[in-house]
Structure 1
Amino acid sequence: MVARIRGWATRHLSYAGRLTLVSSVLATIHSYWATIFLIPNGILNRINAICRNFLWSGKAEYHKALAISWDTCCTPQDEGGLGLKEVKNWNKSLLGKYAWWIATKKDHIWVKWVHSVYLKGTPWTDYTPPADSSWSWRKISHVMSIFTPAYTDGKWLNSHAPYNICSGYNWLRQPQVKVPWRFLCWNSLNIPKTSFIFWALMHKRLLTKDRLLRMGLVVDTHCDICRSFPEDHQHLFSGCVYFKECSRLLQHQLKVRVPVSDMISWYSKAHISKLIKRVVGACYVSMIYQIWKVRNEARLKMFVRQPEALVQQVICDIKNRIQRLNKTKFKGRDRNWLCAL
Structure 2
Amino acid sequence: MGWLLAHGAFKTKDKLIRYGVDIDDSCWLCGQASEDLAHLFFGCDYSTRIVQHLQQKTGLKLPVCNALDWCMQGIGTKMQRGVRAGLIVGAVYHVWHHRNKCRNEGVLLRPQQVASNIVEEMKMRIHRKGKQHLTILELDWLKGIGLM
Q: Same fold (TM over 0.5)?
A: yes
Report if the CA contact (8 A) 1:210-1:221 is conserved.
yes
Q: Structure 2: which 5+ runs fail to align?
A: none
- 1:235 maps to amino acid: H
RMSD: 1.7
Q: Does 1:285 align with 2:89?
A: yes
Q: Deviations over 1:233-252 (max 9, x none)?
A: 01001111111111111112
Shift of 1:231: 0.3
- 1:215 maps to amino acid: Y
Paired position in structure 2 for 1:83: none
TM-score by length of 2: 0.87
Give, in whole Å, the separation in 2 of the partners of 1:265 and 1:203: 13
Q: Does 1:322 align with 2:123?
A: no
Q: Deviations over 1:29-73 (max 9, x none)?
A: xxxxxxxxxxxxxxxxxxxxxxxxxxxxxxxxxxxxxxxxxxxxx
- 2:115 maps to amino acid: V
More helix per residue: 2
Point out the more displaced range, 277-286 or 329-338: 329-338
Give, in whole Å, the separation in 2 of the partners of 1:218 and 1:336: 53
Report if the CA contact (8 A) 1:276-1:334 is conserved.
yes
Shift of 1:289: 0.4
Paired position in structure 2 for 1:233: 37
Give, in whole Å, the separation in 1 of the partners of 2:83 and 2:38: 24
Report if the CA contact (8 A) 2:27-2:40 is conserved.
yes
Give, in whole Å, the separation in 2 of the partners of 1:294 and 1:218: 22
- 2:94 maps to amino acid: Q
Q: Identify which of 66, 71, 76 aligns with 1:272.
A: 76
Q: Does 1:246 align with 2:54?
A: no
Report if the CA contact (8 A) 2:26-2:33 is conserved.
yes
Give, in whole Å, the separation in 2 of the partners of 1:265 and 1:205: 17
Larger relative contact order (Cα-Cα within 8 Å, sequence gap ≥ 6)? 2
Q: Does 1:260 align with 2:54?
A: no
TM-score by length of 1: 0.40
Shift of 1:230: 0.6
Q: Label 1:255 to 1:273 Cα distance change in 2 as closer, same or farther (>3 A).
A: farther
Report if the CA contact (8 A) 1:209-1:218 is conserved.
no
Q: Give the 3-state SS of the residue equivalent to 1:206 in structure 2.
A: coil
Larger Rg belongs to: 1
Paired position in structure 1 for 2:4: 200
Q: Deviations over 1:123-154 (max 9, x none)?
A: xxxxxxxxxxxxxxxxxxxxxxxxxxxxxxxx
The count of aligned residue pairs is 145
% same residue: 29
Matches within 5 A, 1:43-82: none
Q: Identify which of 99, 109, 112 aligns with 1:308.
A: 112
Report if the CA contact (8 A) 2:72-2:81 is conserved.
no
Paired position in structure 2 for 1:216: 20
Q: Give the 3-state SS of the residue equivalent to 1:221 in structure 2.
A: coil
Report if the CA contact (8 A) 2:91-2:118 is conserved.
yes
Paired position in structure 2 for 1:114: none
